[in-house]
Structure 1
């Protein structure tokens, strides 16, 4: 019996105190190599099309001063988050992106790298970013404080946004699913339709949130150049 509503997200399966649920993050390694060993399929062409589209978009966001090949970091980030979000929609597969342990581990090192690179190499440019253009002189100290705080909470907002969106949909589906045994046949049919609609919505959320995470990381990177 579920004693806590959030226990569905607990990484509780373990052998010798090693959590097995986090292995769901690496399930993609079993599936990705088939793209390179088999004849090109429609899946292969579709995935290549998505990657090339993302590459062109991230290239525009990073600007002409970006380092050659820097888009691959964000494409890899998008692919990893997308895969983990989708795997969490299958029954009995642990959703690793619903934990701040993973999302903050992705967002914080990225943000730290951007900040260190920016303040070491483009110090004057980083100071300029603290005061938006056209700010009255009297408001400048307040704007510096606001911009500094907003800059410092970026990794937290990135991580919490992804985690909260993953948890919200899964919790709603779990709550509705638990009411199933107490429903009449007509209500049960309605519940199944609602659950299918929610599953489609969660699939869209999985794609959108991975895209948002990658795009915001790209925008934060472009600000330090």
Structure 2
């Protein structure tokens, strides 16, 4: 009942409220991005949604316009050189993710769920298949994000995603929602251009 009906209703109502409340702050961020570097305000990228369908995720652009598209940050040579001044702040505070409110509003994402994989992150997609994490909507934040975020290797990340898919409840969503604020404010688990000591080769943070 909760997963099928109530969760989607809450996603719609909360994202609609967020669009209204955050309209002015997002407009200020958009102006800052335009003044900081040439290029579009928003960055679109193909991601994997529920049932392994593809959709375009929205983010505020945080990297230069000449940054290679659809390439994870850790695969770029000297990734810090591509990040703009405004982008560095937006990425550290996760404010670059705010436009995904639209993805939630139209039903492509949920507020809570596995972070959507890049369409070409085949290892992560396969790992999530084994634990049925691709059967639910991806989210703005999720169980893996509050248990290590960028520092997690793919198998551990998929394990948390599968655990969430198997035990999806209102109580779990509330817990993840509030724990996410702690991670954002303390900037915990964020690793630019690579990962932490847990696994230096597996990170799904995308360019731009």
Tell me the TM-score normalized by structure 2: 0.29
Could you say which structure has the higher helix fraction?
1
Could you say which structure has the higher strand fraction?
2
Name which one, 1 or 2, has greater alpha-carbon Rg: 1
Tell me: higher relative CO, structure 1 or 2? Use CA pairs within 8 A at least 6 residues apart: 1
